[in-house]
Homo-oligomer: A and B are copies of this chain.
Amino acid sequence: MEDFKSKPLVGQIGEFALIDRIAAMLPQRSAGVVKGIGDDVAVLDASGPQYLIATCDSQVEGVHFVREVITAYQLGRRLAAINISDIAAAGGEPRWALVSLAIPQDIEVGFVEELYRGMGEQMALAGASIVGGNLSRMKSSLVLDLTLLGLVSPGHLMLRSTAQSGDAVILTGSVGESRAGLELTRRPELLLDSSAKNRLLDRHLCPQPRLSQGLLLAQSGLVTSMIDISDGVISDLLHVCNSSGKGAEIDVSGLYLSPALCQAALAAGADPLQWALSGGEDYELMFTTAPKAVQDIQKMLFEKTGVSCSQIGTITPGGGVSLRLADGSRITAGLKGWDHFGGGM
C-alpha cells in the first residue's frame, strides 16, 4: 500500500482518474479551443462558419475485441461507428477521419483491406471519408486508432456539461443488448432464438451510431445536454452529472428491456437490468430536456427517424446518481460502468 501511494500504477487508479490528472496538467485556455478535454469531442474554432469538432477512439486487440470473434470488416465498421457516435452526441456532422494502425507483420494484407472496406462503408453512410493516417509495425496485438473530425453550428453544439436541474433524462432505443452480444461471443453455446442471437451479436460487433437522431435533437433547440452510451447508462449519466454539477435519479421502470436482451440474460443466468444499466457500448444517445418538451421530442424523433425514446430519470440539484427500483426502494448507483482499465473483454 505504501508503494501504491508513492508510485501508483495506471491499473490502480483507473481510466477516469487518469484522465482527470492529465486534464489538470494541461493549460485550460488555448487559442481557438472552445472546449478541451472532458467531453465526447474537443470543440475548436478555426474561424470558419462552423465549429470544428474532433474525437478519437481506439480498438485494442485482447481488450476491445478478439480476432476469432469479429471479422475485419465488422471491426472496421465498429471502429468508425464508435467515433461517429461521439460526433452524433455533440450534434455534429462527421466529415474526415484519420486512421492509425499498429499491425503485426504476420497479418494478411486482405485483413487490412477488409478493415478499410468496413471503415470506408460506415464513414460513407455518415457522409464522411478517410483522408489520412499512419501505419506502424507492432509485435503482437493489433491496435487501431481513429480520429474523426466533424462540423457543428455553434448554436447546435451539444455538451454533456449543461444538464439543468429538473430536466428529464431521455434514452433512445434500447440498452444492454451490446453486453448481451458480448456474452454470446464468449459463450456461443447459450440457447437462444437465432433471430435474437443475430440481433444481439450485431448490436455488439457492428453497432450503429444514432447520427440522424443526434442532428435532429441538436437542431430542435429543446435539448440541454447530450452524451452517447459507451461506458454504460449509469457511468455515462455520472459523466453528465459530474460535469454539469448536478445529480440524477433513474427510475428503472422507464428503461426499455428488449425481449432479446431478456432472453439472453435468462439463458446466461444474468440480470438484464444490470446489463442495461452498466453494460455499455450500446451507442444510444442519452439527453436531457425540460419535462414539458418530452412528448414533442418523442413524437418528432419517432416520426422522422422511426426511433423511440423514453424517459429514464430526472436531473436533481444534488450530486451522484440514485436508482428507484420497481418496488419503490432507492439505492445509490455504485454499479460500475465499462471501465477500460478495470473491466471489459
Contact = CB atoms under 8 A, between A and B. Distances in A.
Contacts of A291: none
Interface in A24-51: 25-27, 30-33, 36-37, 41-42, 44, 46-50
Interface centre among A11, A41, A60, A134 (most CB of B within 10 A): A134
A11 B106 contact: yes
A268 to B, nearest CB: 24
B112 A18 contact: yes
Contacts of A129: 26-27, 30-31, 33, 36
Given A42-B132, A109-B10, A95 B54 contact: no
Interface in A80-132: 95-96, 98, 100, 102-110, 112-113, 116-117, 120, 124, 127-132
A49 B52 contact: no
Given A36-B131, A113-B21, A149 B340 contact: no
Nearest to A345: B137
Nearest to A132: B42
A5 to B, nearest CB: 11
A10 B136 contact: no
Nearest to A47: B48
B10 A103 contact: yes
A130 B340 contact: no
Contacts of A7: 108-110
B151 A54 contact: no
Q: Would you list the 4 A-B pairs with minimal beta carbon distance, nearest first?
A: A11-B105, A48-B48, A30-B129, A42-B132
18 contacts: A7-B109, A10-B105, A21-B112, A25-B120, A26-B130, A42-B98, A46-B46, A46-B95, A47-B48, A52-B52, A54-B98, A55-B132, A58-B100, A58-B145, A63-B139, A98-B147, A137-B344, A140-B141
Given A32-B95, A47-B48, A140-B141, 4 more contacts: A10-B104, A15-B135, A25-B116, A57-B100
